[in-house]
Each structure stands twice: as C-alpha cells, then as structure tokens.
Amino acid sequence: MNQQQNPQQTPQTPRFKFLQELQNNSQSDNWQEGSGAKYGKLLFLIFQMIFYCILVYSFAFGNPKELGQPFDIDNSPCGAGTGKEEYKFAYFVNPDSEEFLYRTLCLKECPQVENKMAEADDSIVLDCHPNIEIASCDVRIQPDHPEYNVLYYDTIPFINVCAPTEKQRLQNVMKALYKPFTVRVLSDFYNSKLIFIGLALLALGLNFLIIYKIDDYPRLVIWIIVIIAILGFFGNGVLGLLYAKNLQIHGQIEQENKLSKEQVIGYLHSNYVNSNTIFIISIIFMLFGLIVFIFTIIWRKNITTVGQKAEIMNNYYLISQPDQDVNYLESLLKVFLSLTVLLAVFFMFILMALFYLFTTSQPKNEQHQLAFESFQIDIIEIIFFTIIAIELVLVPFLVIGFSKLLVINIIIEIYKQQILEVDEEYLRQYKLTLKQRSLQDCIGKTVRYHFGELMWGMFRLYIAFCSKPIFLSGFRSFISVCLTQKGFLQSAQNQLDYDQQLQNKNRKHYQGLDYQLIISFGVSNTCILVYMVLLLYSPVCLAIHTPPNQILAIYLFTFMISYLFSTLYGMGMDTLNFLLYKDLHEDPNRNYIGSSVQAQFRMIALPQISMPAQEVEEFLNNEIDKFQGFQENLN
C-alpha cells in the first residue's frame, strides 16, 4: 500500500500505526495515570514520610561534633565537649605502658619534639584542657608512680589523635586507636570531602570534554576512552599491588628511633587495613582489565559503531528547539549539570544526617575506658540507618531514571519535528496532527505523567523481580511508557517483543548501554588512578583510616556521574533505534527503516558500521535497495 491511496481509507501499515502513536502522544495532556503510577507515587510518598521523620529525630537529638571524636579521661569528647571546641586532639599522657592508655588529655596542637633529650624537659606546659583526673597541663615524670606521668614526646596529628612517632609507643597505643567500623567510614568521608569534590569536578570535566570532542573525532574519541579504561584497570591494579607491598613493609618496621610522617601513617594503615584486601582488589582490577581487553578485540567493530552513532546523536541534539534559537544539546547539558549538582548536595545532606544519627545514643561511661570505647550504636540507630541507606540508593536511581525518561521524551519530540518537516503532505492526507513540546514541557510531562511509572517500574524491576528478560532490558523498558499511555509492565513486555523481533530479523544489538559503560568505566578508572597515585606517593594528604572504602565510594560516585551524563547519548541511541524501526517506509515490496529522517540519522539503525560516515550516507541514499537490514514484507 503506497502513499497515493484514498484518504478515506485507513492504512493498516506499521508506519501509520506508529504515526497514530505519535499523534496520541501529542495529546497526552489528557492522559490518565494508571494504577502502577499511583502505586509508585504512594510507595514513594510513604517512604519519604518515614525518611523525613528519621531526619527530624536525628537532627533533634544528635550532635555531629561528637562523631569519631576521642574522649578524654573524664568521658568528655575532645573538640566537642564544653570548652573543648578548640582542643580536638587526644593525647596519651603515658604511651610507654598499655596499662595507662585510658589517661588522655585534649590538646590544641600535637607536640613536636626535635630530639630525644628534649623529652626530659619537665618545664614544658602542654596546651591542653585539664580534666578531673589530670588537673594540670605540666609535664611530670615520676618513675615511682607512672600512673601520674604526663610525658612530653614527639607526635604527628592523625585525624583527631596525636600519634607517637616512636615505633614502640606507636605499637602500644594501637589498641587505644581502634575505632568502630561506622566511625572509621564516616570519619574518612568527612576528612576526604575536598578529595571527593576534586574528583567529582574531574569527572564532570572529562564528561564535558568527551561531549565536546565526540562530534569532531567520534571513532578516535571512543577508542581513546576504551584504551584509557583498559589501562586504568591495569594501572589501578599495579598501583594497588605496590600499595599492598608498602603496607607490609610499614607493618614490619624494625627500627625504634623516630619515624617519619609517611612511616607513621603507613604503620597505622597497615593496622587498619589488611594488605590482603588491597591485594584482592588489585587482582580484581587486573582481571577486569584482561576481560575488557579480550572483549574489545572481539567487539572492535561494535566499538567503532558506538563512536559513529555517538556523533549522530550529537548532530541530532544540535537541531534547534521549536520557535527557539537554542538547540536541545545546550539546554540538556544545563539540565544534566543541575541534576549532578543536585546529587552532590543530596549526598552531602545524607552524610550530615548520618553524622547526626550516630550520635543520638548516649556514650558509654565506664571506668578506665579507652578514647574511642565510648561510642556505641543501639538497635534504633541500626534500623534508621537501614532506611537512610535505602534512600541513598533510591534517589540516585530516580535521578538517573528521570534523566533517561527525559531523554526519551526529547528524542520523541525531535522525531516529531523531523516528520513535520519531511512528511507534512502525508500527515495532511490522513488527517494526522502532531504537536511539539518544548524542553520545559517535556520536563513537566516527565514529572507529571511518568514519575509514578518510574517508581512502580523500579519497584517491579529491582524488588518485586520481573521476568529475567525485562530485568535485563532495564530502563529501556520505559521507552513505550513515554511513547504511549500503557503501564510499565505492558510497555516492558511490548519492548521485549519488539527487541526479539529485531533480534530475529536483523540480529540488532542496542548499543546505548555499551556507550554508557565505556564512558563510565573510562572516567571512573581515571579518577581512581589519580586517587591511587596520591595514596601511594602522598599519603600525608589523605589522612584516612581505610583506603579500600574510599576507593569503592569514589568509584561508585564518579561512575554514577558519568553514567548520568552518558545517558544523554546512550539512552538517545536506544530510543532513536526504536523509533526508526517503528517508522517503516511504505514500499510495495519491502519496508525500510526511518522514512521520516535524514540519511545521517537513519545510520543509527544500521548494523555494525565499519566505513566512513560519508560512504555510509552515500550507501543509504544511492544503494538503499541493496541494504539487507530490518525488512518486513507487507503480507
């Protein structure tokens, strides 16, 4: 059936049905929310009410200044107790014996002694805050009564403790330096905030650089990122092995004289971190590098295609918005940057909430307890922490999901614009009306009509466990949700059926996820490489307890930033593929992809591309009859 048929007759062709879907999408202001969307919003509302009640409780009864702080001998926290705000370092007055480690003072600054002879000077007065049992800051050396000694010795500041630089004394105080896991993790996050900010800015800069250069050198850029990802896996593995070796060396220092800052921090790390853990992480990095290298060789044509299609998506977004001089790419980058800032603020807010939450319970008050033994966690804090942890996972997924749905809606609107420009006569012939939306309208539509389905779909995907194929299709299951009024499960099943149709007829492979993984691994590996170099060669600037926790947190954080930005092209590729294959050219014998868009955009629906862009476009324009891509008989 061709385009010259009687307008009174309704053609039952795939293309006409697709255009009807676009027409219904244009009238989506009258959509009614399905039960899934209502359930999703209800679940989200209930969970948020519980979450904010926990926040009120935490902020009302917690004191974050006490978290991770050492307590002196009268059970008052250094740096947080009354009158002790400036005295934040715990000082062991007699580190020569483990018996008297409970005797501590709070100091403003850690003492630094040039030589051993100076330690015998009993005229020194420490800059301390006296307490009940140690009423004076004078140095006292009483061999007959060591329980009353207040020694003067060389130290370095390590987070909130004055760590001795003499190995024997350092070994003696290790028992008193033990902190609960929760305290170590939160303390490390607090003390590494500048590192997180710096690496987040690095990840943002790399993502903007990729978007800026992908248009000029698409295949070169994507291959550079793949190579960086592979080298990053191997580089991080090698640096991790070197760090594990250093931990073993620092843990076996034989000398008893004064240790350097690097040696003290290395010794502390060797006691907080098992070198075998670092070794295992390093091996995992190298194994991933080997696996990625093998698959890169096998799928080298596919990687080249991903780069080519990224350029096509870049050109697609450069189309101007209706009645505006601004293109979609410029506006979307602002939206995605805002979402990234929102995520960063959210993470800071969650960390602050945890700082308050874990100080709501009363500290232990026992006789002769060590500096960090006062901290305790009760069952209420554990329950509340679980809910906050769920929120910490839920919100990033929602932000990424929102960005994907927004991209889907934008691609649909650009496709409408292409149809209006190319097929106006066809639309008039069959009385089809398409209405375009601006970016602001797309954001409103995504929030109003799709947010509930996003919540419900995520619940079915990751908690209620949909069928395995739907689970593996992930966020691509939402494409039909945005195009039609159907609920998540029906749309996901339709998408699954369509994917299977493409696989059977064209062996089609969606490449949006490939692009996102390439970008995310490349950027994250680069950020971790920078962190590992600092950890290995400048540990003094990273005064933390457990580097493995930091490595995991930084990897996830930078990966999420890159995954969010790569959604712009990755989800766009998959959505445009879907629309192109639904918009079939009506030919008496065959149907061909994407009759409403230019040749350069139809290329995105081709199988593996291994030729220059100009040749592919010429191939589409001049040799379309030889193309054995997605074809379907009208019968």
Residues 156 and 259 in one domain: no
In a shared domain, residues 173 and 190 = no
Question: How high is the pLDDT of residue 623?
Answer: 44
Domain boundary among 571, 601, 625: 571
Q: Are residues 143 and 174 in the same domain?
A: yes
Q: Which ranges of 423-432 does DSSP label H, i.e. alpha helix?
A: 424-429
Report whether pLDDT(617) > 70.
no
Report the alpha-carbon distance of residue 415 to residue 411 in Å, rounded.
Answer: 6
- pLDDT for 627 beyond 50: no
**Of 214-218, 412-416, 483-487, which has the strongest mean pLDDT?**
412-416
- Quick: pLDDT tens for 19-75: 888 888 887 666 666 666 777 788 888 989 999 999 999 888 888 888 778 888 877
Exposed e or buried b per residue across 392-422, where buried means at least 16 C-beta atoms within 10 angstroms of its C-beta: eebbbbebbbbbbbbbbbbbbbbbbbbbeee
Inter-residue contact 88 to 106 (CB < 8 Å): yes
Q: Is the pLDDT of residue 502 over 80?
A: no
pLDDT reported for residue 629: 37
Tell me how far apart the alpha carbons of residues 122 and 454 are, in angstroms, rounded to a whole number: 69
pLDDT at 443 over 90: no
The residue with greater pLDDT, 403 or 495, is 403
Q: 298 and 344: one domain?
A: yes
Q: Which of 197-201, 233-237, 353-357, 601-605 is predicted least confidently? A: 601-605
Alpha-carbon gap, residue 77 to 163, rounded angstroms: 17
Residue type, 221: V
Contact 574, 222 (CB under 8 A): no
Residue 299 lies in a domain: yes
| Three-state secondary-structure class, residue 59 | helix
Mean pLDDT of 157-166: 88
Residue at which a domain ends, from 161, 178, 195:
178
Looking at the domain assignment, is residue 488 inside a domain? no
Each residue's pLDDT tens digit, 76-94: 888 886 778 888 888 888 8
Residue 268 has pLDDT above 50, yes or no: yes
**Is 592 inside a domain boundary?**
no
What's residue 587's pLDDT? 62
**Is the per-residue pLDDT at 633 higher than 50?**
no
Domain presence at residue 581: no
Residue 318 has what pLDDT?
Answer: 84
Q: Is residue 159 part of a domain?
A: yes
What pLDDT was estimated at residue 265? 82
- pLDDT over 70 at 188, yes or no: yes
* The model's pTM: 0.83
Output the CA–CA distances (angstroms, integers) from residue 278 to 237, 268, 272, 614, in the order listed: 9, 15, 12, 49
Which of 25-34, 258-267, 508-517 shows the lowest mean pLDDT across its residues?
A: 25-34
Please determine, for residue 314, whether its predicted confidence score (pLDDT) is greater than 80: yes
Per-residue confidence band for 462, with pLDDT thresholds at 50, 70 and 90 = low
Greater confidence, 513 or 617?
A: 513
- Looking at the structure, tell me whether residues 393 and 281 fall in a common domain: yes
Cβ atoms of 59 and 471 within 8 Å: the answer is: no
Residue 161 lies in a domain: yes
Q: Are residues 270 and 191 in the same domain?
A: yes
Domain assignment present for residue 517? The answer is yes
Say whether pLDDT at 635 is over 50. Answer: no
User: 628 pLDDT band (50/70/90 cuts)?
Assistant: very low
249 and 174, same structural domain?
no
Indicate if the pLDDT at residue 621 is higher than 60: no
Handedness of CA 580, 585, 586, 589 (dihedral sign): negative
Point out the domain boundary residue: 523, 554, 571: 571
Percent helix, percent strand, percent coil in the chain, to nearest 5: 65, 5, 30
Distances (CA, A) of 430 to 18, 246, 580, 635: 13, 75, 20, 22
Let me know whether 294 and 159 are in one domain: no
The answer to whether residues 146 and 288 belong to one domain is: no
Q: Does 162 lie in the same domain as 223?
A: no
Same domain, 226 and 332: yes
| 3-class DSSP state of 366 | coil
| pLDDT of 467 strictly over 80 | no
pLDDT digits (tens, 9 = 90+) for 122-146: 778 888 888 888 878 888 777 667 7
Domain range enclosing 196: 183-363+383-462+509-571
Both tokens assigned to 52: 């904010």
pLDDT above 60: residue 611: no
Assign 233 a pLDDT band (cuts: 50, 70, 90). Answer: very high
Is 17 contained in some domain?
Answer: no
**For the chain, what is the mean pLDDT?**
80
Domain total of the chain? 2
- In this structure, the answer to whether residues 136 and 265 fall within a common structural domain is no
pLDDT computed for residue 505 by the predictor = 56
Residue 142 corresponds to which tokens in the numbers above?
């009483």
Most confidently modeled range among 11-15, 20-24, 226-230: 226-230
> What mean pLDDT do residues 208-225 have?
88
Give percent of the chain with pLDDT exceeding 70. Answer: 85
Burial of residue 186, with CB atoms counted within 10 A of its CB: 0-12 exposed, 13-18 middle, 19 or more buried? buried
pLDDT over 90 percentage in the chain = 15
> For residue 138, what are the contacts with CB-CB under 8 A and spacing of at least 6?
122, 124, 125, 126, 150
The residues near 102 (Cβ < 8 Å, ≥ 6 apart) are 73, 176, 368, 369, 370, 371
Q: How confident is the model at residue 121 (pLDDT cuts 50, 70, 90)?
A: confident
Query: Taking phi first (over 0 means left), then psi (-120 to 50 degrees means alpha), and beta for anything else, what does residue 157 get?
Result: beta
